[in-house]
Amino acid sequence: MAAFCAPRVAVFLVIFTFGAMAQAEPLGSEEAVDRTTQTALALDVHPDRGSLRFAHDCARCHGTGGEGNADRAIPALAGQRFAYLVRQLANFAGAERDSDAMHRVISQPGLRGPQAWVDLAAYLNRLPPSRGGQTGDGRRVALGRGIYREQCASCHRGDAHGDSDGFVPSLRNQQFSYLVSQLHKLGKGNRHNVDKDLVRFLDSFDDQDIDATADYLSRLHGPGAVRRIMRDDGVVVD
């Protein structure tokens, strides 16, 4: 479960600007994704523009409030960490994460550049986390709590809100089906940007361990112990 720990890793998820838009450099390697991510994180953010782009390109799948779609194992994005979201958009743009649907979305003219990514991430980060999402059957919550506290909390923190830098995702307010899906994919090595030791670790989980951990996490609601981060230019992001 430490799988969710490094900036290059992620459990989750996802995905304009008006006027001139900085274009991302051609991606295709982890190093290029790193550079483009840092370029994006240095830009001014415009959540209002991100709101329009989300409604146009993302809400159909991720829900109008960023709550996700349990039936299709689509993640909730509302309240997710700003830097994490930017990094994942760069990963999708650079084919460091597999998803035909996301590759089609991020190839749209309004989503091809770093400015669009930070605008969208800023909007989603500011949305109130969704409540009442899908959970498991509740039979193994205690097991999931134990696995999380022993194996995952060192990276994701005790409240599952993520690290102080924002590259480790929040695992709160997430759809059970999406958590199960991603834990299986991480363990099977279906994510290019995952440490091999982590893959081996998650591959040791059986279905019961995965369901239990996902069920426990899916029951964590609210923002958690929010850690506000102020950039050098005074912009506050979480």
Could you state, in order of their start, the residue ranges of all structural domains in the chain? Answer: 8-131, 141-225
pLDDT (0 to 100) of residue 57: 96
Asked if the model's pLDDT at residue 26 lies above 80, the reply is no
State if pTM tops 0.95.
no
More confident residue, 20 or 120: 120
Instruction: Looking at the structure, give the CATH architecture of the domain made up of residues 8-131.
Output: Orthogonal Bundle (1.10)
Q: What mean pLDDT, rounded, does the chain reach? A: 86
Task: For residues 144-173, give the mean pLDDT.
Answer: 94
Asked if the model's pLDDT at residue 20 lies above 60, the reply is no
Same fold, 8-131 and 141-225: yes
Instruction: Looking at the structure, give the CATH architecture of the domain made up of residues 141-225.
Output: Orthogonal Bundle (1.10)
Q: What's the pLDDT tens digit per position in 49-94?
A: 999 999 999 999 999 999 999 999 999 999 999 999 999 999 999 9
pLDDT-based confidence at residue 234 (cuts at 50, 70, 90): low
Task: For residues 183-205, give the mean pLDDT.
Answer: 83
25-29, 69-73, 132-136, 150-154 — which is least confidently predicted? 25-29
Q: Rounded to 5 degrees, what angle do the CA atoms 194, 196, 200 make?
A: 110
Name which of 121, 69, 53, 61 is nearest 91 in CA terms.
121
Asked if the model's pLDDT at residue 18 lies above 90, the reply is no
pLDDT (0 to 100) of residue 206: 96
pLDDT-based confidence at residue 230 (cuts at 50, 70, 90): low
Task: For residues 30-39, give the mean pLDDT.
Answer: 93
pLDDT (0 to 100) of residue 52: 98
10-14, 116-120, 122-126 — which is least confidently predicted? 10-14
pLDDT (0 to 100) of residue 3: 44
